[in-house]
Structure 1
Amino acid sequence: MNAFLLLQANPSDWALFFGHFHPLVVHLPIGFLLIAGLLEMGRRLGRISLSNSTMSAILFWSAVSATVSCVFGYLLSLGDGYDEEILTEHQWQGIGVAVFAWVAWAVSSDRFMNRIPFGNALYAPALVLTLVLLMAAGHHGGALTHGSDYLTQYTPEPFRSLAGLPPRAAAVAFKAEPITDVNQAMVYAQIVNPILQTRCVQCHNAEKSKGDLRMDTPAMLKKGGEDGPIFVAGKGTDSEMIKRCLLDEDDEHHMPPKGKTQLTDQQVTLLTWWIDQGASFDKKVADLTVNDAVKPALASLGGGDIKAGDKTLAVAGATPSAPRPVSPVLTMKMPVADPKVVEELKKTGLLVLPLSKENNQLEVSAVNVRTFTDAQAALLAKISTQLVWLKLSDTQVGDGAMASIAKLKNLQKLHLERTAITDAGLRQLTGLPYLEYLNLYGTAITDAGLTSLTGLKSLQTVYLWQTKTTEAGIANLKKALPNLEVVGGMSGNTVAAN
Structure 2
Amino acid sequence: MNSLILLQATSPQPSEWAMFFGRFHPLIVHLPIGFLLIAGLLELDRVTRRQTVSSHTITLILFWSAVSATMACIFGYLLSLGGGYDEETLSDHMWEGIGVAVFAWVAWAIKHDRIGPRIRFGPLLYFPALGVAVLLLLAAGHQGGSLTHGSDFLTQYTPEPLRSMAGIPPREQEVASIEPIADVNQAMVYQQIVHPILKTRCVQCHNPEKSKGDLRLDSPEMIKKGSEDGPIIVAGKGSESKLIKVCLLPEEDDHHMPPKGKTPLTENQIALLTWWINQGAPFDKKVAELKVPEEVKPALASLGTGSAVGGGGQVAMGPAPESPVLTMKLPAADPKAIDELKKAGLLVLPLSKEQNQLEVSAVNARAFSDAQAVSLPKLSQQIVWLKLGDTEVSDATLAQVAQLKNLQKLHLEQTKVTDAGLKNLKNLPYLEYLNLYGTAVTDAGLKELAGIKNLKTVYLWQTKVTETGVAELKKALPNLEINMGLGESSIAAFTKADSAKAENPKAK
TM-score normalised by the chain length of structure 2: 0.63
- Deviation digits for residues 128-186 of structure 1 (CA, Å, limit 9, x no counterpart): 000000000000000000000000111223433343222x3x44423655411111111
Q: 1:243 deviation in Å?
A: 0.5
How many equivalent pairs are there? 347
Letter in 1 for 2:97: G
Inter-partner Cα distance in structure 2 for 1:288 and 1:234: 12
Structure 1 residues 99 and 484, CA gap change in structure 2 (3 angstroms):
closer
- Deviation digits for residues 71-112 of structure 1 (CA, Å, limit 9, x no counterpart): 111111111111110000000000000000000000010110
Give runs of aligned pairs for residues 262-301 of structure 1, distance below 5 A: 262-301=264-303
- The 8 Å contact of residues 107 and 119 in structure 1, kept in 2 or not, is answered as yes
Give runs of aligned pairs for residues 56-455 of structure 1, distance below 5 A: 56-166=59-169, 168=170, 170-174=171-175, 178-303=180-305, 304=307, 306-309=309-312, 316=319, 317=409, 318-321=433-436, 325=440
- The 8 Å contact of residues 35 and 64 in structure 2, kept in 1 or not, is answered as yes
Which segment is superposed worse, 25-34 or 318-327? 318-327
- The 8 Å contact of residues 232 and 275 in structure 1, kept in 2 or not, is answered as yes
Inter-partner Cα distance in structure 1 for 2:239 and 2:485: 24
Letter in 2 for 1:129: V
Structure 1 residues 150 and 274, CA gap change in structure 2 (3 angstroms):
same
Which segment is superposed worse, 263-272 or 212-221? 212-221
Inter-partner Cα distance in structure 2 for 1:287 and 1:306: 16
Partner of 1:31: 34
Q: 1:492 deviation in Å?
A: 3.0
- The 8 Å contact of residues 293 and 313 in structure 2, kept in 1 or not, is answered as no
- The 8 Å contact of residues 203 and 209 in structure 1, kept in 2 or not, is answered as yes
SS in 1 for 2:116: coil
Q: 1:488 deviation in Å?
A: 2.8
TM-score normalised by the chain length of structure 1: 0.64
CA RMSD of aligned residues (A): 3.1
Letter in 2 for 1:233: A
Q: 1:124 deviation in Å?
A: 0.7
Q: Which runs of 5+ in 1 are unaligned?
A: 329-435, 438-454, 460-480
Q: 1:46 deviation in Å?
A: 2.6
Q: 1:482 deviation in Å?
A: 8.2
Inter-partner Cα distance in structure 1 for 2:238 and 2:484: 26
Letter in 1 for 2:145: G
Q: 1:253 deviation in Å?
A: 1.1
2:23 is matched with which residue: 9, 20, 45?
A: 20
Letter in 2 for 1:174: V
- Deviation digits for residues 306-326 of structure 1 (CA, Å, limit 9, x no counterpart): 454377767645311465647
- The 8 Å contact of residues 299 and 315 in structure 1, kept in 2 or not, is answered as no
- The 8 Å contact of residues 192 and 271 in structure 1, kept in 2 or not, is answered as yes
Q: 1:55 deviation in Å?
A: 1.1
- The 8 Å contact of residues 183 and 307 in structure 1, kept in 2 or not, is answered as no
Letter in 1 for 2:82: G
- The 8 Å contact of residues 488 and 494 in structure 1, kept in 2 or not, is answered as no
Inter-partner Cα distance in structure 2 for 1:311 and 1:90: 52
Structure 1 residues 327 and 103, CA gap change in structure 2 (3 angstroms):
farther
- The 8 Å contact of residues 295 and 485 in structure 2, kept in 1 or not, is answered as no
Structure 1 residues 297 and 60, CA gap change in structure 2 (3 angstroms):
same
Structure 1 residues 29 and 483, CA gap change in structure 2 (3 angstroms):
closer
Q: Does 1:489 align with 2:493?
A: yes
Inter-partner Cα distance in structure 2 for 1:183 and 1:483: 19
Partner of 1:364: none
Partner of 2:458: none
Structure 1 residues 297 and 70, CA gap change in structure 2 (3 angstroms):
same
Inter-partner Cα distance in structure 2 for 1:66 and 1:126: 15
Structure 1 residues 327 and 313, CA gap change in structure 2 (3 angstroms):
closer
